[in-house]
A and B are shown apart, each in its own frame.
Chain A
Amino acid sequence: MTSAQLHVDTSRLSAWLETELSPDEQRRVEHHLASCAECGDRLARLQTLLREARSLPDAIDPPDELWSAVRARVESAEPRARSRLHLRRWELAAAAAVLVALTSVLTTLVVRRPTVVVVQPAATPVAAVATPFVGPGRSIDADYSATIRQLDDALAEHRAELAPATIAKVEASLRVIDGAITEARRALAADPANLTLLDILSANYQRKLELLRRATELPPTT
C-alpha cells in the first residue's frame, strides 16, 4: 500500500466533517488526522472554504458582462480542483459563488455601474424560494437564488427583443429544470444529510444558472 492510499481524500474529509461516516470510519479518519500534516492541511482548507461559503451575503449581484469571465475562471479552475482534491459539486458551487461574489464586489467598487431596474416580473419563478428549507440544502438555495433572481430579471428585460419561439424554447427548458430542482429539494428535505442529493440539487441549479445566462446573452430578434 502506498502512502497516498493512506491519506484521506477530500470527499471522505467532507463526510467526516458532516459525521456521515460509520463510527469506525469516523474514528479511523480522526486517528489519521492526528498524525498526518498533509490531510490536516487539506481539512483546514476545506473548513475555510465552507466557512467562507456560509458567510456569503444573501444577495449576490454579478454584472452581466462578467459572466463570460467568471465562467471561464470557474471552468478553468474546476478540472484542477477535481483532479487534485476531488471536491464535491456543492463544494465547488460554494467556491464558484465566492468567486462570483468577490468579482461582483470588485466590479461594483471599480465600475460603480447602475443597478438593473426591473421592469416586469421574472418570467420563471425561482423554485428555490418556494418553501422554507433547512439543512445543508438551505445554503445551496441561498447561494443560487439571488443570482438566479438577477438573471431572471435580466431575461425579463431582454425578452421583448427575442422571438416568441425562442422565448418558448427557453421557458420550456427552464420548466424542466425547475421540476428537477423541486424534486431534488423535496428528497433533500426528507434526507438532509444525503450528499448525493446535495450534488444533484447543486447541479440542477448550475444548469438553470447556465441556461439563464445563455438566454440573457442571446442576440436581439433571434
Chain B
Amino acid sequence: MTIPLRSLIRFTGVLLVLIAPSAAAQRAVEMRHAVSPTASVRIFGSFAELRIRGWDRDSVAITGTVPSDARFDGGFLTAGDGASPGAKFFLESTSGTPSGKLELRVPAGARVWAKSGSATIDVDGVTGGLDLNIIGGSVRVVGRPHDLTVESMDGSVTIDGAPAWARLKTATGDIVFNGSSDDAGLTTVSGAVRVPAGHFERARIESVTGPVEFSGGLARGGTLDVDTHSGSIELRLSRKIAAEFDVATVSGTIENTLTGRPPAAGREGRGQEIGFTTGDGGARIYLRSFKGNIRLRPLPDSRR
C-alpha cells in the first residue's frame, strides 16, 4: 500500500500541531536542599498528582512537571549555619484547573502539609506528621506516620498502615482504614467508613448517613465509639473479645449474632438497646444510632 506524499505531509503537520503544544506546555521542576531530619514542608496549590516519599536522607527534593504557564514558587527556610528547618512550595495554574505531577521526597521524620483542590495524593514512608487536605480526588497513606490528619470533601481516603494518631474527615468521600492506631477518629457525612482489620487502642467513628463497618480488634482497656444518624453500623468481632457493650438505637434495630443475646425495647417502646459484657470486660464498645440499623456479628474463627 502506498500513501500519497501530500497526505503524509498533511497528516504529519496535523500531528505536530496536536503534539507540539502539549509537549511545550510542560516544564520540569527540580529543587533540592539539605534540611533537618524533622523539617516542616508545606506544599500548596493546584497540583493534580503528588507523591510524597519519606527517605533516610536529611534533604528535601521536589521533582516533576508543571504547565509551562503555571507559577511554581518555592524555597527553603534558612536558620543560621545549620540545615534548613523547612520548605514551602506553591503551584498556581493560570486556568485554575489542577495540573502538574510532583514528587516530594522528605526526611522520614519530617512534617508535611499539603493542600490542593482536586488531587491524587499518595504517601509512603513518612514517620513524622502528615496534614493533607483536598476537595476531590483521593488520598492514600502507607506507613506509620506519628500523626495523620486528612480532610476531604468528596475525595476518598485510604490508609494502609499504623498512624499513632489519626483524624480522617470527609463529606461524601469513603474512608478505608486498613491498619492500626493508638487513637483514630474517622468522620464522614455520607461516605462509607470501612475498617476491615487492624488493632486499636481508641477508635471513634462518626457519620450522618454513611454506613460504618468495623472488623478490627481492640486493645485491652481500649474503646470503640461509633455514632451515626441514619447510617448502618456493622461490627464483626472475635467471639473471644473481652468488652463491655453499650448499644442503642432510637428507632432502628439491633441484630446480635455475636452472643445471641436479644436486644430490649428502647425508651417508651421505641428503638432497641442492649448492654452486655463478654469475657472479663476490659474494652468498652459504645454504639449509637438514631435510625441506622446495628449488627453485631462474630468474625470467622480463623480470623482471631
User: What count of chain A residues pass the 8 Å CB interface test?
Assistant: 33
Q: Is B103 an interface residue when CB atoms closer than 8 A count as contact?
A: no
* A199 CB–B CB distance under 8 Å: yes
A35 within 8 A of B: no
With the chains together, A103 CA to B140 CA distance in Å?
A: 35
On whether the beta carbons of B209 and A221 are closer than 8 Å, the reply is no
A173 to B135 Cα, complex, angstroms:
13
Residue of A nearest to B281 (CB): A5
Asked if A196 and B288 make an inter-chain contact with CB atoms under 8 angstroms apart, the answer reads yes
| Interface pair A222/B117, CB less than 8 Å apart | yes
The answer on a CB contact under 8 Å between A221 and B96 is yes
In this complex, what residue of A is CB-closest to B271? A196
From residue A36, how far is it (CB to closest CB) to chain B in Å?
A: 21
Cβ distance A1 to chain B, nearest Cβ, rounded Å: 13
Interface string of B166-183 (1 = CB under 8 A from A): 010101100000000001
B76 sits at the interface (CB 8 A): no
Distance (Å) between the CB of B90 and the closest chain A CB? 11
Q: Is A44 an interface residue (CB 8 A)?
A: no
Q: Quick check: is B190 within 8 A (CB to CB) of the other chain?
A: yes
Interface residues of B in 61-109 (CB under 8 A from A): 96
Which residues of chain A are within 8 angstroms of B291 by Cβ–Cβ distance?
A: 183
A173 touches B172 (CB 8 A): yes
Q: Which residue of A lies closest to B151 (CB)?
A: A214
Asked if A169 is at the interface (CB within 8 A of a chain B CB), the reply is yes
Stretch at the interface among B12-20, B50-58, B122-130, B223-231: B223-231
A79 touches B202 (CB 8 A): yes
> In the assembly, what is the distance between CA of A214 and CA of B133, in Å?
10
Q: Which residue of B lies closest to A5 (CB)?
A: B281
CB-based nearest A residue for B266: A196
Is the pair A170, B268 in contact by a Cβ cutoff of 8 Å?
no
**A210 in the interface (beta carbon within 8 A):** yes
Q: Is B213 an interface residue (CB 8 A)?
A: no
Query: Complex: how many Å from CA A187 to CA B230?
Result: 14
Complex Cα distance, B267 from A169, in Å, reads: 37
With both chains docked as a complex, state the minimum distance between the C-beta of B239 and any C-beta of chain A, in angstroms: 25
Q: How far is the CA of A184 from the CA of B271 in the complex (A)?
A: 14
CA distance A144 to B54 in the complex (A): 41
In the complex the two chains form, is B190's CB within 8 Å of A173's CB? yes
- A21: Cβ under 8 A from any B Cβ: no
Chain B positions 160-206 with a Cβ under 8 Å from a chain A Cβ: 167, 169, 171-172, 183, 185, 187, 189-190, 202, 206
Beta-carbon nearest neighbor of B44 in chain A:
A219
Whether A177 touches B185, Cβ cut-off 8 Å, given contacts A170-B171, A187-B290, A196-B288, is no
Bound form: Cα–Cα A221–B95 in Å: 10
With a cutoff of 8 Å between Cβ atoms, the chain B residues found around residue A180 in the complex are 208-209, 229-230, 290
Given A169, A200, A211, which contacts B290 in the complex, CB threshold below 8 Å?
A: A200
Interface residues in A76-129 by Cβ distance below 8 A to B read 79, 82-83, 89
A199 touches B227 (CB 8 A): yes
Q: Which residues of chain A (167-188) have a CB below 8 Å from chain B?
A: 169-170, 172-173, 176-177, 180, 183-184, 187
Extra A-B contacts (7), CB below 8 Å, given A82-B223, A221-B46: A83-B223, A169-B172, A176-B189, A191-B270, A194-B250, A197-B250, A204-B208
Query: Residues on B close to A: CB < 8 A?
Result: 44, 46, 96, 115-118, 135-136, 151, 153-154, 167, 169, 171-172, 183, 185, 187, 189-190, 202, 206, 208-209, 223, 225, 227, 229-230, 248, 250-251, 267-268, 270, 288-291
17 A–B contacts from the bound complex (CB under 8 Å): A75-B185, A83-B202, A89-B227, A169-B153, A169-B172, A173-B189, A177-B208, A180-B290, A191-B268, A194-B267, A197-B250, A199-B227, A199-B288, A200-B288, A207-B189, A219-B115, A222-B116
Interface residues of A (CB under 8 A from B): 75, 79, 82-83, 89, 163, 166, 169-170, 172-173, 176-177, 180, 183-184, 187, 191, 194, 196-197, 199-200, 203-204, 207, 210-211, 214, 218-219, 221-222
Listed from nearest, the 7 A-B pairs whose CB atoms lie closest are A222-B117, A180-B229, A173-B171, A173-B189, A221-B96, A169-B153, A200-B290
